[in-house]
Structure 1
Amino acid sequence: MQKEETFYIGYVTKTKGLKGEVQVFFEFEDYDQLTPEIIFADMNGKLVPYFVASYKLQKNSTGYFYFDDLDHIDKAQLLVRKKLYLPLAEKPDRDEDEFRYTDLKGFTAFDETLGELGEITEVHEYPQQFVATVLYKEKEVLFPLNEDFIIEINEEQKLLTLDLPEGLLSIYLES
């Protein structure tokens, strides 16, 4: 399985107990609609399949998983901080007119003051807000995605027009 054939759902935060249970933090918004049977973990750039024995989802974007053949804490420890993926075929359908901040990945970010910032390479969901990542002046910079800063989202041109606070990006450029 190649990464292009999958979608990112989250990562393993920690082990729980001695029998190989792990806690998963979901960065995929509709995690409660997933029915995973096989989860792929990014192990040094290769996607390794893990068969789900059982799982229980929580309301705080987490879940507890047992995987076949991971029956001890030492085996499960290998998965901590590993990114997890599911095959694209398992991605839940949604309405065509439903647009989310995570759909901005691949868009070009343009600030009214600074001009073109670059392509949005990642969109992370945190409890308080979404944050976009852009490679700007050869530095990885982050900025929040919220209604106060977004002027326009042009889906046809894949362009995000922003009015970021003065000095926000200079924090990244000073070092």
Structure 2
Amino acid sequence: MEKKLEYFRIGKIVKTRGLKGELKIYSHTDNMDRFRELDCFYIGEDRDTKYYVEKSNIISGNMATIKMKGFDTIESVQGFIQKFIYVDRGQSYELDEDEMFISDMLGMSVETESGEKIGTLVDVLQYSANDVYVVKSESSKEYLIPATYSIVPVIDKDKNLIIVKPIPGLLD
């Protein structure tokens, strides 16, 4: 089984806002409240520097602003534009019983209800209608499987297994 990610990307800094060091963030999470509750985060690949939140605000469905402590001018934050922000696993929000982080699903085995091995989950494409699982077979063939309850009735965390009920043409 693959090692679990220790850091989660929650957004991308898209531009500054105002003159006092505020940053506008495009969210990569479906829980916008996490920006209201955010205490600290990392920027880019640097895991040695923690940035602390002075204030944050949600400004639209997928946009938030963050003002970091100690960064009080537009010039002090311009170098962060177009970088991703991350939180460590300990700062992730609590999931419901039937939820999993995508990073914890990657590497799961995917089989049909009859036990036929399809492959391994290698990616999850997120669309507004539903997610799509990218499954790679041992022969490197890729399958795109809509992540709906009718097609994916079982995700077993303990067995590291996804069960698929394929519709005609799905695995051709």
2:165 is the alignment partner of 1:166: no
Inter-partner Cα distance in structure 1 for 2:67 and 2:31: 21
Instruction: Tell me which residue corresponds to 2:12.
Output: 12
Identity %: 14
Instruction: Tell me which residue corresponds to 1:66.
Output: 67
Q: Is the 8 A contact 2:16 2:77 kept in 1?
A: no
Give TM-score scaled by structure 2 length. 0.66
- Give the deviation of 1:122 after TM superposition: 4.3
2:117 is the alignment partner of 1:115: yes
Change (3 A) 1:89 1:64: same
Deviations along 1:73-115, one digit per CA (max 9) or x if unpaired, are: 68435341x33222333233355xx112536614222256983
Inter-partner Cα distance in structure 1 for 2:78 and 2:26: 15
Instruction: Tell me which residue corresponds to 1:99.
Output: 98
Q: Is the 8 A contact 1:111 1:164 kept in 2?
A: no
Q: Is the 8 A contact 1:41 1:79 kept in 2?
A: no
Structure 2's unaligned 5+ residue stretches are: none
Please tell me the root mean square deviation across aligned C-alpha atoms, in Å: 3.8
Q: Is the 8 A contact 2:110 2:118 kept in 1?
A: yes
- Give the deviation of 1:135 after TM superposition: 4.3
2:146 is the alignment partner of 1:144: yes
Give TM-score scaled by structure 1 length. 0.65
Structure of higher CA gyration radius: 2
Which structure features the higher share of strand residues? 1
Q: Which amino acid aligns with 1:62?
A: M
